[in-house]
């Protein structure tokens, strides 16, 4: 059984790693800006489109395929640098302090606009460029062949958890974010320019989602529907972990990844719904997620 489960598990964890990137950004934006951003999955899709386009260009221009590796991060950074400030300053800030229903409707409208824009710019066909996966090759462990790229994805997710924790604990920006999460008003009165913290935190969230999409694109490609699927799963993961929890999002992604693998193995017809079943079960027992609580606002 282990022989059959191991490849599935690596596959599941690699997927979980990708969803983690989206979920942790969603959670971060929720804690700092107090907005549940329905359009967050679109950044995942746009990151994927940007990265595939850049990689396709690199390869067609006859440049070294190794350049497609930095291209994954570079395309996510470009997407974040443009869309982060534009969306936060252009749209979200007008909804601060307004009813949640309005915020959800505004971000829902943004989501629909992004979906259409993607079709307009990239068409409706699926795009794919797997140079990064090829470059990493495969390893044989215990007679089973693994894609090294998937192992890299899992390692990157762990790295991002650690990096975010260090950011929150030891850097100026991280500490200011923690303060703004706990008390935006007092933060202002103590000299924190909260507008900048909102913009920077949102941009970081966009980067994480776009990076997730960029990393996903060499394995599954990107097509219409990529964004909606990402946001729905990320919502489930963020809710299971407790909105605003970094490690919570990581563990929830892990739980969802493993549960999906078990479903594929034992009851494949349920694979698609198990994340939401887990979410329901967790929310009914612990309404603020596995690691969340109402009283303590932290990150």
Partner 1 sequence: MLVLRSVKARLGGVLVLRDVDLAVEAGRTTVLVGRNGAGKTTTLRVIMGLVPLAAGRVAMAGTDLGALPSHARAAAGIGYAPEDRRLIPAFSVEDNLLLPALALRLPSAERRARLDQVYDLLPELKAMRGRAGGHLSGGQGKMVALGRALMVGTRLVLLDEPFQGLAPALALAYAEAIGRIRSRMPELALLITESSPHLLDRIVDRTVQIERGEIVRDTVPAA
Residue from 183, 267, 281, 287 binding partner 1 (CB under 8 A)? 183
- The Cα–Cα gap between 271 and 184 comes to 41
Q: Does 293 bind partner 1 (CB under 8 A)?
A: no
Q: Does 193 bind partner 1 (CB under 8 A)?
A: yes
Q: How far is the CB of 185 from partner 1 (least distance, A)?
A: 6
Q: Which C-beta is closer to partner 1: that of 151 or that of 192? A: 192
Give one DSSP letter per residue of 207-231, joined into a string: HHHHHHHHHHHHHH-B-TTHHHHHH
Q: Does 172 bind partner 1 (CB under 8 A)?
A: yes
CA angle, 16 as apex, 15 and 20 as ends, to 5°? Answer: 120
Torsion of CA 217, 147, 207, 210, to 10 degrees: 10
Which of the stretches 185-193, 203-211, 243-251, 258-266 binds partner 1 when contact is defined by CB under 8 A? Answer: 185-193
Which of the stretches 131-139, 158-166, 191-199, 286-294 binds partner 1 when contact is defined by CB under 8 A? Answer: 191-199
CB 26 within 8 A of CB 235: yes
Which of the stretches 189-197, 224-232, 255-263, 271-279 binds partner 1 when contact is defined by CB under 8 A? Answer: 189-197
CB 286 within 8 A of CB 239: no
Structure tokens at 18: 């990708």
Residue 183 vs residues 34, 176, 189, 190, 226: alpha-carbon distances, Å: 12, 10, 10, 11, 35
Q: Does 126 bind partner 1 (CB under 8 A)?
A: no
Q: Does 100 bind partner 1 (CB under 8 A)?
A: no
Bridge partners of 138?
Answer: 147
CA angle, 192 as apex, 186 and 193 as ends, to 5°? Answer: 120
Q: Does 191 bind partner 1 (CB under 8 A)?
A: yes
Q: Which C-beta is closer to partner 1: that of 191 or that of 268? A: 191
Residue from 126, 138, 188, 293 binding partner 1 (CB under 8 A)? 188
Q: Which C-beta is closer to partner 1: that of 119 or that of 195? A: 195
Chain residues binding partner 1 by CB under 8 A are 172, 175-176, 178-179, 182-183, 185-195, 296, 298
């Amino acid at each position: 059984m282990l022989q059959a489960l191991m490849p599935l598990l690596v596959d599941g964890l690699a997927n979980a790693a990708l969803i983690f990137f989206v979920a942790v950004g969603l959670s971060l934006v929720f804690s700092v800006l107090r907005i549940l951003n329905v359009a967050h999955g679109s950044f995942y899709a746009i990151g994927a489109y940007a990265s595939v386009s850049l990689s396709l260009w690199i390869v067609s221009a006859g440049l070294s395929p190794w350049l497609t590796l930095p291209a994954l991060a570079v395309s996510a950074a470009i997407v974040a640098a443009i869309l982060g400030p534009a969306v936060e300053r252009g749209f979200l800030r007008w909804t601060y302090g307004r009813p949640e229903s309005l915020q959800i409707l505004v971000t829902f409208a943004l989501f629909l606009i992004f979906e259409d824009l993607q079709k307009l710019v990239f068409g409706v066909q699926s795009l794919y460029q797997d140079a990064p996966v090829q470059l990493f090759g495969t390893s044989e462990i215990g007679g089973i062949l693994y894609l090294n790229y998937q192992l890299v994805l899992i390692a990157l997710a762990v790295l991002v958890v650690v990096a975010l924790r260090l950011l929150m604990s030891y850097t100026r920006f991280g500490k200011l974010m923690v303060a703004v999460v706990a008390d935006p008003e007092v933060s202002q009165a103590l000299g924190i320019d909260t507008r900048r913290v909102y913009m920077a935190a949102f941009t970081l969230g966009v980067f994480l989602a776009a990076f997730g999409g960029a990393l996903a694109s060499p394995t599954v490609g990107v097509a219409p529907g990529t964004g909606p699927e990402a946001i729905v799963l990320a919502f489930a993961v963020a809710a299971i972990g407790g909105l605003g929890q970094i490690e919570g999002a990581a563990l929830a992604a892990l739980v969802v990844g493993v549960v999906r693998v078990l479903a594929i193995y034992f009851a494949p017809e349920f694979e698609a719904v198990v994340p939401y079943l887990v979410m329901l079960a967790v929310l009914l027992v612990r309404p603020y997620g596995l690691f969340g609580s109402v009283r303590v606002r932290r990150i």
